[in-house]
Structure 1
């Protein structure tokens, strides 16, 4: 569910072949290499977008195109465990729009986090590129913090670099990504404008988790922030799980431990990766291990 909210159901490759990913982009044949430059050393693989590509992405994602993205997606009814967020606005969470390797308009969910450069968002790796492929990277990536019903009250931020584990590129293992967004001309750096969530690595399962996302399920169709609440548990393949049925488009959405509804703040301990079946419960997320920390560290130095 491309999660990229793909036009179809995307299947994970890393030992969870029957689980649907929560994005709106599907697995694809290898196309010609995109203009974005892919590189990487050690544990981290990086895709960089030139200034001209960033400008083009902002021009591409008009308010009308953002609103249209969900209108052609039919992922069925919003699940019974998923609720509409009606509390204090959370500007640090937003929709991440992009064009997938098929050329489809797609989106995921992402959140701004504490970082040295005050410009990092965390999401799922499959919201950046197709796993087990060195060429299938996505383009025209724009983060809209605090997105709600067609409104972008905090502006739009073009992605300038996207980091994923090299294990995702090679084996579809480690579904986490950190991205650096460009500061708009005359604007503020991301976390100065919208705030941030704390981030932690190596946290054990068993915490109360609030997980957020912008699924393309009906009736919201990606236009509203939705959430689930539950206790995390250990899952196979170095993952954790929570009772949640957020659908496609919620991929990359934050798992917040110690969440305070009065402030809209918590501590990011994982991100939505895939559900059981077509958006069914539970939701799985990658353990934030040393590899995830290396991805984050590479971004906050960027």
Structure 2
């Protein structure tokens, strides 16, 4: 929703607060016949089925390209961001010239301002992160020009942009039904201060053809717009080449949260409020932790403050309107783990930002429809062991090589090693493991496409003929071939 309708939104939220006093928001109930999603069922992947995804009507990319002239871009307001914890005070809603929100000790970005942000060095075409990130313009459900941040995500089609669901869909005030936004135009490496078109839009303007959101996202103000479902994909039209070929793309990381050091880039902006007027690309460094659930109760209970799988939070970067949908990237690897979704209002002290993660359930529901030819989770494991028989009482090394094929990285991947009866595992290198007799339950921090991870275990042989050492890696429903998720190697024992 645009900043121009902010007063209406606040009145709606206040009314919701009074009506739901004492009630904690929960994800919407699953539709009849659909199994519920359990985002916290396992530390890594699980076999849980995803939500379905809703799709917008087919749009005309060239029409959006023609619509978003530089003058309309300059007049576009920032999309209204959901709040992490609804609080209503004159200070929070007042327009102030210089917000003071992130204490100095919490600012991790070199040269950070009071919100934790710093300007990205121009030209934005000079760095992958700046080139792949852009400004997303659209006409919102009220018919007003708005903008968010977005980025190109790796896909088989090469045409997908990822952003927040509230940047593609909302329920207008006074309406009983949600509506899709229209006229999407993505401008990678957008520079709103450039004098000429080539520098302002160095890779051109890419019109949207269709958008997708999880069907668990309803867009209800004060409700699930601040949720694990606030994630969306937009397919853009082709130019002479795909968008991914033109600027590159971030590799998605399937995850449900955790602790990371991230960088986030985007176009926070309030019209006429430099440097937050949407014309500059800004960035911020943050440490994440699991976000907490949302409550509209006047007294926040311990249950309402429980960590919520599927969402990440940082206290080092304070959101600013217009940064909705901006990418959160793992610092060092550049994996895309989430998009900025919510936080405290601009100008509040002790500000924070919240991101929706690319979980196997929510993101999986999107790519199944938006990129049906893409393979996003194809984990495999292969065992190898000693060539020579092992004497009873001696140890031998066995190796489990875990690999990822396809388009996505995977975070916190569970691997189980099981030695044959009469043997024991004395140690495992390459991952964090819990050992109990002849079994080890391990978690690999991350597996990237083309970069296998090797776990080496010491197996102490007992009397007898030995037997198979088994390794199992757990992937999600997105893995099209589960047969290679289990592998064995025989441990020969000298009699």
Shorter-normalised TM range? 0.7 to 0.9
Whether the 8 Å contact between 2:178 and 2:218 is mirrored in structure 1 is: no
Residue 313 of structure 2 aligns with which residue? Answer: 241
Residue 188 of structure 2 aligns with which residue? Answer: 145
1:116-150 per-residue CA deviation (whole Å, 9 max, x = no partner) reads 10111110000000159654211111101110125
1:159-192 per-residue CA deviation (whole Å, 9 max, x = no partner) reads 11111010102763410001111113xx210000
- What does residue range 171-190 of structure 1 map to in structure 2 within 5 Å? 172=224, 173=227, 174-184=229-239, 187-190=240-243
Residue 256 of structure 1 aligns with which residue? Answer: 329
Whether the 8 Å contact between 1:163 and 1:177 is mirrored in structure 2 is: yes
Of 55, 64, 67, 2:74 maps to 67
Q: TM-score, length-normalised on structure 2?
A: 0.49
Residue 118 of structure 2 aligns with which residue? Answer: 83
Deviation at 1:86, TM superposition (A): 1.6
1:61-112 per-residue CA deviation (whole Å, 9 max, x = no partner) reads 01221123259x9784464311111274421100000011111110000000
Q: Matched residues in 1 for 2:96 and 2:5: separation?
A: 9
Q: Matched residues in 2 for 1:170 and 1:275: separation?
A: 16
Whether the 8 Å contact between 2:132 and 2:250 is mirrored in structure 1 is: yes
Whether the 8 Å contact between 2:149 and 2:163 is mirrored in structure 1 is: yes
Deviation at 1:5, TM superposition (A): 5.6
Whose relative contact order is higher, 1 or 2, with alpha carbons under 8 Å and at least 6 apart? 1
Residue 126 of structure 1 aligns with which residue? Answer: 166
Q: 1:159 to 1:235 in 2, by over 3 A?
A: same
What is the CA RMSD across the aligned residues, in angstroms?
Answer: 2.9
Between the two proteins, the alignment pairs up a number of residues equal to 265
Q: 1:297 to 1:270 in 2, by over 3 A?
A: same
- What does residue range 1-302 of structure 1 map to in structure 2 within 5 Å? 2=1, 7-8=5-6, 43-51=52-60, 54-69=61-76, 76-77=97-98, 79-86=114-121, 88-89=126-127, 90-130=130-170, 134-149=177-192, 151-169=200-218, 172=224, 173=227, 174-184=229-239, 187-217=240-270, 218-220=273-275, 221-237=277-293, 238=308, 239-243=311-315, 244-259=317-332, 266-278=334-346, 280=348, 281-289=351-359, 290-301=361-372
Structure 1, unpaired ranges of 5+: 18-40, 261-265
Three-state SS of the structure 2 residue aligned to 1:59 is helix
